[in-house]
Chains A and B, each alone.
Chain A
Amino acid sequence: MQPLPAPTAVVADDERLMREQIIARLKDAWPELVIVGEASNGREAIAIVQSLEPDIVFLDISMPGVDGIEAARTLAGQAHVVFVTAHDQYAIDAFEQGAVDYLLKPAEPERVALTCRRLRARLRQEPDPMHDLLAQLSQRLGAGGLKPREYLRWVQASVGASIRMIPTGDILFFRAEDKYTRVQTRSFEALIRKPIKELIAELDPDEFWQIHRATVVRVDAVEQVSRNLRGNQVVHVKGSEEKLEVSRSYHHVFKQM
């Protein structure tokens, strides 16, 4: 019987000490395993695995740029994946149900040995494509939690000489003025280039209402709505002296409930 070629692995973690630790533990638990490469982020991991075609890849979940889960999705079916994480209860729950193994940092030697035994048995099979698990993981972890949300939460505006990030919760209203849009807060005003038409598409419709072609007001900042002499509705805003006119076509916004 011919001896099998030595099994190979790639270790990916953004912290060098963590890679060293896993490699040292693996050396103790599985001396025949050859570490053919190391990666410090998801993108590197994908490139190295695709060029060196190892049997196994150890992927840290939180890595800069492309995280471990994204990398696993790209590499699905190409190598046996073992996830490495310090503390992600959701992820651990998901692993417990799936066929893919995981290691917790700091990695205990006994636990690494168990993973190695499982991997030895699994090497004879094709790598699991992990479809269900990855879908579940990216849902639970929000794909690393870095995906932008649907709506604007901050508005970038010049105030004096600096560029500020203003939380939408601080904004009383937006008003179109010539080429700019004025952002009014309780304590200052700022100008942005984004026109009202684009803003309204990006703002949370539960947080901001358009009341005029040129005006968008934060609902929570509305103090009262009255009528002026011409019979138009006028919005009074908490923390500002300015009265905002509601144009005819937006009167339905404040119609009696």
Chain B
Amino acid sequence: MGIRQAFREIRRGAVVMWWGFFDWVAVVSWKALLLVAFLSLIIGGIFRLPTLAFVLIVASFIIKVVAGGKRRAELTASQANRRAETEQLERTVLEARMESLQAQIEPHFLFNTLASIDQLIQTDPPRASRMQQSLIRYLRSAMPQMRDGGRPTLGQQVSLSSAFLEIMAVRMEERLQPTLNVPEGLKSAVFPSMMLQTLVENAIKHGLEPKADGGRLEIGAEIVDGQLAVHVLDTGIGFMPKSEGGVGLANVRERLEALYNGRAELIISVPPAGGTCATIKVPYEVVPAPAPA
């Protein structure tokens, strides 16, 4: 038993050594191979085995000529594969990291909303209840652990943002006039999560809230040259060229790059009437309808 075990070990070792040698011969340069051949001839001479050394050298030259090219291509391919796997992994990690950055619910928003509900319970209970429903709807889709694993659709994202806007409209009253301009047919299109919400939050925080009179906020979607273009337009104080633009916009850019590799973009423009318009363009793709059970 013991001898058989040892024999198997030796054989396995020899196979590994042979393939190691084979790979080395395949990828080593001719110059290095000649140098090694020359050295082994000398060593063979010292040990009085010049014929064996010569045979070995000729054999390795033949191996290099016959199998070298193929083996080298195989090695390159497997290296490329490993690299691709690492890149894929890095992308997944990056996406997860950005997801968590993106998903933060502003404590400011939450506390202010709870305070408003608290006040409405005293003065207008039915309205308090409606506002609480909106808050629940918003939290359900905004909390990362509450999101389902499927690909997010524009419809889901619009419903999340409209719940948010309903809350903000109760709080800001006439200072926020939201309009929704998203065709029913586009709601099944694939759209990355929390990006629309980032644009909406920015429009309120940097556009409308700082303006004493507030203004309009419009969410719109259309197909432009085969791309899905989703915009958030506000008539607020307008974009400041020296502002950092918040972590939010930088995050959206980074995520679009990671998800679509140059086939998506975020454009900030200044509408003729003032304010800010932020547009996200992504390839138009429809989520397949779930198969009937």
A interface, CB within 8 angstroms of B: 14-18, 20-21, 24, 40-41, 43, 62, 64-65, 86-88, 104-107, 146, 148-156, 162-165, 167, 187, 202
Contacts and interface: CB of A to CB of B under 8 A. Distances in A.
B268 interface: yes
Interface stretch (B31-39, B76-84, B104-112): B104-112
Nearest to A104: B111
A21 B119 contact: yes
| A-B CB proximity, top 9 nearest | A106-B115, A165-B268, A148-B242, A86-B111, A21-B119, A105-B115, A163-B270, A87-B107, A106-B118
Contacts of A62: 108, 209
A165 B108 CA distance: 28
A4 B184 CA distance: 65
Query: Which residue, A16, A18, A86, A162, has most C-beta atoms of chain B within 10 A?
Result: A86
Nearest to B114: A106
Given A15-B173, A17-B171, A62-B108, 11 more contacts: A18-B112, A18-B116, A21-B118, A86-B112, A148-B240, A150-B242, A153-B241, A153-B243, A156-B239, A164-B268, A165-B241
Contacts of A155: 241
Given A24-B119, A165-B268, A149 B243 contact: yes
B242 A149 contact: yes
A118 to B, nearest CB: 21
B211 interface: yes
Given A65-B210, A165-B268, A21 B245 contact: no
Interface in B257-293: 265, 267-270, 276
A17 B168 CA distance: 12
A105 B209 CA distance: 18
B5 interface: no
Main secondary structure of the interface of A (DSSP, over half): loop
Given A20-B123, A64-B209, A154-B239, A162 B269 contact: yes
B242 A151 contact: yes
Nearest to A105: B115
B241 A154 contact: yes
Contacts of A148: 240-243
B52 to A, nearest CB: 52
Contacts of B108: 62, 86-88
Interface of B: 107-108, 111-112, 114-116, 118-120, 122-123, 170-173, 175, 209-212, 239-245, 249, 253, 265, 267-270, 276
A55 B111 CA distance: 28
A21 to B, nearest CB: 4
Contacts of B173: 15-16
Query: Which residue, B112, B118, B276, has most C-beta atoms of chain A within 10 A?
Result: B112
B243 A165 contact: no
Contact of B244 (A20, A65, A149, A156): A149
Contacts of A151: 242
B210 A146 contact: yes
Contacts of A87: 107-108, 111
Contacts of A167: 245, 249, 253, 268
10 contacts: A15-B171, A17-B119, A17-B170, A40-B212, A64-B212, A148-B240, A153-B242, A154-B243, A162-B269, A164-B269
A164 B107 CA distance: 32
Contact of B212 (A65, A105, A163): A65
A24 B243 contact: no
A51 to B, nearest CB: 19
B212 A41 contact: yes
Given A15-B171, A156-B270, A162-B269, A20 B119 contact: yes
B280 to A, nearest CB: 14
B112 A105 contact: yes
Contacts of B114: 106
B126 to A, nearest CB: 15
A94 to B, nearest CB: 17
Contacts of A65: 210-212
Contacts of A146: 210
